[in-house]
Structure formats: C-alpha cells, structure tokens
Structure 1
Amino acid sequence: MAAGALLLTGVLLGHRRLPGELGFLVETTLVFAGLGVPLLLLWALRRRSHGGAAAALVPLVAWALVVGPTWVPLDWSAPDAAAGTGSLTVASQNVAAGTGTAGESAATLAATGAQVIGLQELDGTSREEAGAALAASHPHRFTAGTVGLFSQYPIEKATALDLGLGWSRALRAVVDTPSGPVAVYVVHADSARLGAHDNRDRMLSALTSEVQTDDASRVLVIGDLNTVPTDRAFTDLASLLHEPNLSSGGPAVTWPTTLPLLALDHVLGRGVTFTERRSIIAGRSDHLATVARLNL
C-alpha cells in the first residue's frame, strides 16, 4: 500500500523525468492520476490500515500541487470586466469541418458577444459557411489554410504561419480594437497520438519562438493546440503566456464534446487580464468552443 502511494506520488511529481512515449502517455492522462487516491483509500479501509490511509494522502497532496491550481475558479480572483471598449471577448472552436455545421458554430459564437472569433479545421465549404454566417456581424476576416480569424474590428498585418509543418495551420494578425492593437494567433496544431506527435511538438516549439520574439504589448493565442496543460511540449509556451481557468472552476476539458476528458483547446494571453472563461457547445463539432473575456 505504501509502495503504491509512493509510486503514484513519484509519477505526479516526477512525470517530466519519464522518457519518450511513456512520458507522453502519462502527461496526457496525468489529470486522471488523482483517481488512484480513492482506490488507495478503499484498500486501506478494507485492510483497516490507518497507516495506509495516511499514506494515500501523500499522492493526494501531490495531485493538488500539480493539477489543482488549474481547477480553481477564475471567479475567485478575476477583476470586474472593464466597461465599454475596455474589454474584449474572444471565442474559438475547432469546428470539425466534416460535420457540416461550421456556419452554426460561427453563429453560436457570434451570439456570445465575441468581437473576435478564431475557427480551426476549416475546409473550402466550411470556410464559406462560416464566412456567410459572420458576414454582417464580423466583416473583417483573414483565413490561412485550415484556420480563420473573424473580427468586428479591422485586421492588419495578417500573415499565414506554417510553424515548421510545411503548410498553413496557423496565422498571426493584429486586431485594431478601440483600446489599441492586439496581436492574435489562431492555431490548429497537428494531431498528437502515442508514437506520432513530432509534428505537433515542432509546431508548438515554433509557436513559442514566434511569441517570444513578438514585440506586441498585447498578445493572444487561441485554438486547438492538441496538447493538455501538463504536456512537456506545452511548458515553454505556457511560461510566456497566461491561461485563465474556467470561471466556474474545474478542468477546462474540451474534447470530446459528448464526454470531455482532455483540455486540448486553449486561450492564452500576454499584456491582458482575463475576467471570464467558459466552454460551450457549438454546432456538431467534437470539440467544445472556448469563450473568454479580458480587459485590455
């Protein structure tokens, strides 16, 4: 029993030391490691072992240190939203082009009041559907490859980014808000699976370099990054930007929609203060959409 508690604690605190694919697998599922604690407690109760019960609390503390901070409600610490144009609402979703509901997704995101919308996994048809749904409300837009940015405010200095992949699955543009320019990245990182995540890792590394050298005072990164917050490939990017927790607390899981288990979709910022974040269903995508409000 003590050995099990020690092993679980070691995995939680030392997952960065795990090599290769074992490290990828553990870090992708690390949020679920906490489920080992009640199993240890049940084992201890069955054996009527006070020492075993005490030992089970050690990995519980480790889990709280590693995962717990991302579950704390943003509402506990977020300031009030700024009045008028001092705040900005952004929304993002992988629309799952094959579902044929990109227009529905776009309309749902527009209805949240988001002035800036980023969409991922666009093909020719879904790009047209989303564009039509947002034509009146978000007249400014820029698309590159499978991603698109739609805005109520003018878009400047827009450029496609391949992030080392060889074709565009990302973009950077400056949105000219009434409170000043904001550099916005819309990203759809390559898929990541056990034994097949090199392209994803390369894209996240290149994105980190882009953000690190970006001289904009206010930067947003939104999109399907195909990584969970505990993945080592996400660490460097996360060190440069801040990602808000959900306003209501709990894990910001977004995939799959039917039973969200993994937090693959992100909103991160620099030079801004997040005041709200929530996840919503939009269209028939297998990803929940992310909606965030921030002060500029």
Structure 2
Amino acid sequence: MTLLHERHAATAAPRPRTRAGLFVVACSLGLALLLLAHSWLPDIAGLGLIIDSGLIWLGALIPLLAGAALAVRQKRAAAAVLVPAVVWSLLFVPGMIPLEWTAPAASGHSVTVASQNLRAQAGTAAESAGALAASGAQVVALQEIDGASRNSVGAVLDPAYQYSYRIGTVGLWSIYPISNAQPQDLGLGWNRALSADLETPAGLVRIYVVHAASARPSQHAERDTMLAALAEIVAADTSERIIAVGDFNAATTDRNFAPLTQLLSEPDIDGGLAGFTWPVSPFPVARLDHLLQRGMAATSNEVFQAGASDHLAIRTTLNL
C-alpha cells in the first residue's frame, strides 16, 4: 500500500525538469505576446514608454530562453522558443536589411538632407554644422540651437546655403529657395518645429523640421501631443512630396510614433542594422532621430558623428 502511494505521488507531482520546461514555454509565449501587443500595455508609471523604446532589445531574451530549453531537454520548450524568435524576426529583420541592397540608382534629380540635434551647451554647434555641410547635403536641418550657438552656426552655414529659416531652437538651411516657411507649435503653444516648401528643380518638396519634447518614463505628455499634432498635419497635407526630419524623441516602435510611420516611410540604413542615434557612445541604444518621407525613393541613409552632441547626425539622399 505504501509503495502504491509513493508511485501515485511521484506521478502526480511534476518533476523539476517538467516544471522548468513549462516555465520556458510560458516565458516564450509571454515574450511573443509582448512583442506583438506592446502598444496595448497600459502606460502606468512610464512602463509603456520603456517597453516601446526598448522593444528591439527584448530579442536578447531569446538566446537565454533557447539555452534554458536546451538545459531542460524538452521538445515543447524548444518549439515554444521559436515563437518569439519568429515574431522578433518578422518585426525587425526587414528593417535591418542594408539599403544598398535594394535602393534604386541615384537619379539626376535628388536631394540630400542632413540633420542633427546639436545638444544645447555642447559648445561644438559650429563644428557639427560644418560636418553636416561637408557631407554634401543640399538641405541642413538643426535642432536645439541655443542662444550661444545661433551666431556661430549661421557663420558656418549661411555662406554655403543661400536660403534659411529659423524659429526658436530649430533651423533649416537650403541651396534651394524656401517658400511658405512658418513656425509649428504642434500643440505646445511655443515653437519647436517648422514647415516650409523647398523649390527644387524637380518641383516642390514640403519639409517639416521637428524637435519633439523630451520623453521620460514619468513625463512624455508634451512629446505625445507634438507627435499627434504632426500626424494630423501630415494627414491633411496634400503635397506630393513630404519630408519630416529631426529629433522626434521616439523610437521607431513607440506607440505614439506609429501614426506618423503609417503616413510616411523611413528608409533602411546603408550598412544595415537599426541605425541607432542616441546616445553617442560605442553602443547607442535607440534611434530617436528620423527622416520620414513620402513621394520619393531613398538611395542612401546613414548616421555619423558630428561635434560633441549626444545625438548622432543623419544623412539621407532621396530621388525626386
């Protein structure tokens, strides 16, 4: 009787390896669900912003789960790990394909736009402006131009670019005539963006230069307001060609950035991968600076360091 009782208890109670396998399965399916439905996660105490911004980095959990599946030696655990692996790949791998693999050849009519957040009080705004001009850009967009750097930036760019428009801490320089330039407060009541038409030889290009408000886990309402307002403006804009460029303070996977990416597309990076722009370090962790466009085809898109800003600069060439 005792022997039968012991056998029954052993059958009823899951073995440690079985429990570990179930844990791997649950974690794998949970990770896949989080990747797919992260925007449904309530933004309590900034959790939504943190998950949205770091979504691509959740892929680092997949090798850990794979290692755990190998350790428990269960087929169902290994199969479960494939689910988030496939989901992550579908979400991010297409955007990591080098642009040079798919880009069309440059045409006779193209425009190159360079942009950077200069970082106020960095002391190297003129150096950054010079690097952007030296990149061969016909159009330069700058954000976070503080009072101390306004004149030095103008001294560098004004001789090379006949046309310019500045408002607040954002500025636009162009070799093409600028028309219909106006400030855009994007719901804030003060100006952190501008819009203008570039009169290129191939026709008008509407451009928006944006410096979105800062986004922190506990404080990003103003940024969300700006992104929503810009999406509404772009949705109503009937221009054939549109560029929106600058520091959006939002990762590509941010739920508040999604309305813009549904209207405008962002080119892949020349050399592939994610093209992170912040912070400037051997290992930047997020792409906060973007060039979005409609009505054109990108032939080049790269990030590079300019000055001592904490943001890398971006440079994009578009066929007109």
Which range, TM-score by smaller chain? over 0.9
Partner AA of 2:95 in structure 1: T
Question: Are positions 1:284 and 2:308 aligned together?
Answer: yes
| SS of 2:79 mapped into structure 1 | helix
Partner AA of 1:287 in structure 2: H
Q: Is the 8 A contact 2:158 2:164 kept in 1?
A: no
Which residue of structure 1 lines up, in the alignment, with residue 106 of structure 2? 81
Which residue of structure 1 lines up, in the alignment, with residue 231 of structure 2? 208
Partner AA of 2:219 in structure 1: A
- After TM superposition, the structure 1 = structure 2 runs for residues 40-119 of structure 1, keeping only pairs within 5 Å, are 40-83=65-108, 86-119=109-142
Which residue of structure 1 lines up, in the alignment, with residue 162 of structure 2? 139
Q: Give the drift of 1:127.
A: 1.8
How far apart in 2 are the matches of 1:161 and 1:17? 30
Encode CA deviations 1:77-120: one digit per residue, 9 max, x unaligned.
2101112xx01100000011211111111110111100000000
TM-score norm. by structure 1 comes to 0.97
Share of identical aligned residues, percent?
48
| SS of 1:80 mapped into structure 2 | coil
| SS of 2:142 mapped into structure 1 | strand
Which residue of structure 1 lines up, in the alignment, with residue 49 of structure 2? 24
Partner AA of 1:61 in structure 2: V
Which residue of structure 1 lines up, in the alignment, with residue 217 of structure 2? 194
Q: Is the 8 A contact 2:138 2:174 kept in 1?
A: yes
| SS of 1:294 mapped into structure 2 | strand
Question: Are positions 1:255 and 2:269 aligned together?
Answer: no
2:147 paired residue among 90, 110, 124: 124
| SS of 2:287 mapped into structure 1 | coil
Which residue of structure 2 lines up, in the alignment, with residue 218 of structure 1? 241
Which residue of structure 1 lines up, in the alignment, with residue 16 of structure 2? none
Question: Are positions 1:274 and 2:298 aligned together?
Answer: yes
- Bigger drift between 119-128 and 280-289 goes to 119-128
Unmatched runs of 5 consecutive residues or more in structure 1: none
Partner AA of 1:27 in structure 2: D
Encode CA deviations 1:230-268: one digit per residue, 9 max, x unaligned.
111011111111110101110121000113101100001
1:37 paired residue among 40, 53, 62: 62
How far apart in 2 are the matches of 1:128 and 1:63? 46
Encode CA deviations 1:168-227: one digit per residue, 9 max, x unaligned.
100001111111111111000000111211100000011111111122211100000000
Unmatched runs of 5 consecutive residues or more in structure 2: 1-23
How far apart in 2 are the matches of 1:103 and 1:22? 38
| SS of 1:97 mapped into structure 2 | coil
| SS of 1:262 mapped into structure 2 | coil
Which residue of structure 2 lines up, in the alignment, with residue 15 of structure 1? 38
- After TM superposition, the structure 1 = structure 2 runs for residues 144-163 of structure 1, keeping only pairs within 5 Å, are 144-163=167-186
Partner AA of 2:113 in structure 1: V
TM-score norm. by structure 2 comes to 0.90
Moved over 4 A (4+): none
How far apart in 2 are the matches of 1:87 and 1:138? 17
How far apart in 2 are the matches of 1:38 and 1:217? 45
Q: Which has the larger radius of gyration?
A: 2
How far apart in 1 are the matches of 2:55 and 2:154? 38
Number of residue equivalences: 294
Question: Are positions 1:172 and 2:208 aligned together?
Answer: no
